[in-house]
């Protein structure tokens, strides 16, 4: 019934599909869209299920598999790449002991890449859930991860 309440916050109009998918994904403790979520959106918006799935799989901010409490997205745009985002990815892989696209065994962190976060002026950057961090170094990333581990 929780998911029905999420749906009812939006008018059943096609242009609300992204907002609906984001809201449903946020309502899931494992930060992903379940098959039932996609079916609900399809029914609620009177859209083919294949269309809803294509939208959910096109945008990198959506996931169809469980993810961690903290989703870390490292920017791979040319400015971030030139400013050292690769070293951030290496530091995160080493620190979290996971590869890109994986979630830590404790379910706390998921490591992903993003083609652009739109914050080139503070490259290299990453995003943790909805918060952006810029002007990063591997040392600053280690500090950020340690802070998040203390928060859990």
C-alpha distances (whole Å) from 132 to each of 101, 116, 138, 151 are 19, 12, 16, 17
The verdict on 52 and 75 lying in the same domain is no
What's the whole-number mean pLDDT along residues 37-58? Answer: 97
- Measure the CA–CA gap between 50 and 29, rounded to whole angstroms: 25
- Measure the CA–CA gap between 91 and 69, rounded to whole angstroms: 19
Alpha helix (H) residue ranges in the chain: 2-8, 17-27, 35-45, 49-58, 78-82, 85-96, 138-151
The verdict on 49 and 75 lying in the same domain is no
What's the whole-number mean pLDDT along residues 117-126? Answer: 96
With 90 as the cut, is the pLDDT of residue 34 above it? yes
For residue range 75-119, what is the model confidence (pLDDT) as tens digits? 999 999 999 999 999 999 999 999 999 999 999 999 999 999 999
Domain presence at residue 20: yes
The verdict on 13 and 82 lying in the same domain is no
pTM of the model: 0.83
- Identify the pLDDT of residue 137: 97
**Two tokens at 61?**
């901010």
With 90 as the cut, is the pLDDT of residue 43 above it? yes
Q: What is the CATH number of the domain that holds 102?
A: 3.40.30.10
Domain presence at residue 64: no
Boundaries of domain holding 51: 2-58
């Amino acid at each position: 019934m929780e998911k029905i309440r999420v749906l009812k916050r939006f008018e059943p109009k096609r242009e609300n599909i992204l907002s609906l998918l984001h809201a449903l994904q946020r309502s899931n403790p494992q930060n992903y869209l379940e098959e039932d979520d996609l079916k609900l959106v399809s029914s609620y918006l009177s859209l083919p299920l294949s269309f809803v799935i294509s939208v959910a799989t096109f945008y990198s901010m959506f996931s169809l598999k469980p993810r961690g409490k903290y989703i870390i997205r490292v920017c791979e745009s040319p400015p971030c790449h030139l400013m050292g985002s690769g070293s951030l990815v290496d530091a995160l892989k080493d620190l979290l002991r996971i590869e890109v696209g994986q979630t830590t065994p404790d379910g706390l962190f998921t490591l992903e890449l993003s083609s652009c976060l739109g914050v080139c002026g503070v490259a290299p950057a990453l995003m943790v859930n909805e918060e952006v961090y810029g002007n990063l170094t591997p040392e600053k990333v280690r500090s950020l991860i340690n802070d998040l581990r203390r928060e859990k």
